[in-house]
């Protein structure tokens, strides 16, 4: 290795009395040889790991056009679905994804194919399951607790903000639960529409037609309204 070569040459130079011209010739010869292939490959692998750690993750997105909920936008990274939205301009969706992930979302039908198929089939009523991996690393620990608990509410049933608050061990935080659900980055997949107010009202939903969409989703899942 290069360090052993340096030690060897330094010892030899010291034995010769440390002549400057010998030192210069020795270093020039050492630099000329360069590192061996194994050392070069190790350095390249280390650099690749460092760059991967420093750069934001690759984020891809796609659009589902043919649904009853207007175009649905989806974005995913290496650890799962990071965002889903509908009823907003595409530019607003991309800006949100960029802000949350730090990466520049890139369109990719191929990378998003599994997510698109699962969500499309669900909202068209072709399947009752949507077992997608969701990446909630961009939300607060409290919001993650709330969203994970909301995901446990079965299809065809509803829960309340107060019930979710009790289940996560914070019974007085029902208002904070409502706010956390309103900021859900992956609605439908994390079914915040299944959580309603304790008085039976819907409790609000994202977008201009929020409650209309909430009713659509609940009816799709078999919830009967009196």
Nearest-CA neighbor of 220 among 93, 113, 120?
Answer: 120
20-33 and 2-15 helices cross at what angle (nearest 10)? 160
What whole-number distance in Å separates Cα of residue 123 and Cα of residue 3?
Answer: 63
The token pair at 96 is 């949100």
What is the set of active-site residues?
192
Instruction: Quote the Cα angle for 76-82-86, to 5°.
Output: 95
Nearest-CA neighbor of 83 among 39, 46, 132, 42?
Answer: 132
Question: Cα separations (Å) of 55 from 28, 58, 75, 77, 174?
Answer: 37, 9, 18, 13, 38
Most distant CA pair in the chain, distance: 100
């Amino acid at each position: 290795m290069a360090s052993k070569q340096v030690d060897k040459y330094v010892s030899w130079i010291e034995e010769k009395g440390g002549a400057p011209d010998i030192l210069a010739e020795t270093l020039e010869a050492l630099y000329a040889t360069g590192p061996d292939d194994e050392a070069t490959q190790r350095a390249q692998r280390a650099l690749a790991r460092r760059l991967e750690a420093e750069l934001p993750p690759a984020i891809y997105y796609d659009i589902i056009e043919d649904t009853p909920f207007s175009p649905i936008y989806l974005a995913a990274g290496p650890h799962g679905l990071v965002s889903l939205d509908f009823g907003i301009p595409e530019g607003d969706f991309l800006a949100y994804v960029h802000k949350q992930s730090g990466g520049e979302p890139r369109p990719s039908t191929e990378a998003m194919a599994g997510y698109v198929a699962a969500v499309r089939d669900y909202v068209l009523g072709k399947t009752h399951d949507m077992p997608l991996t969701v990446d909630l690393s961009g939300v607060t620990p409290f919001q993650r607790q709330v969203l994970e608990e909301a995901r446990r509410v079965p299809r065809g049933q509803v829960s309340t903000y107060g019930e979710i608050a009790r289940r996560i061990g914070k019974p007085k935080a029902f208002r904070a639960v409502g706010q956390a659900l309103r900021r859900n980055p992956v609605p439908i997949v994390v079914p915040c529409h299944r959580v309603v107010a304790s008085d039976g009202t819907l409790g609000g939903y994202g977008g201009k037609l929020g409650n209309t969409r909430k009713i659509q989703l609940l009816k799709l899942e078999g919830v009967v309204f009196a």
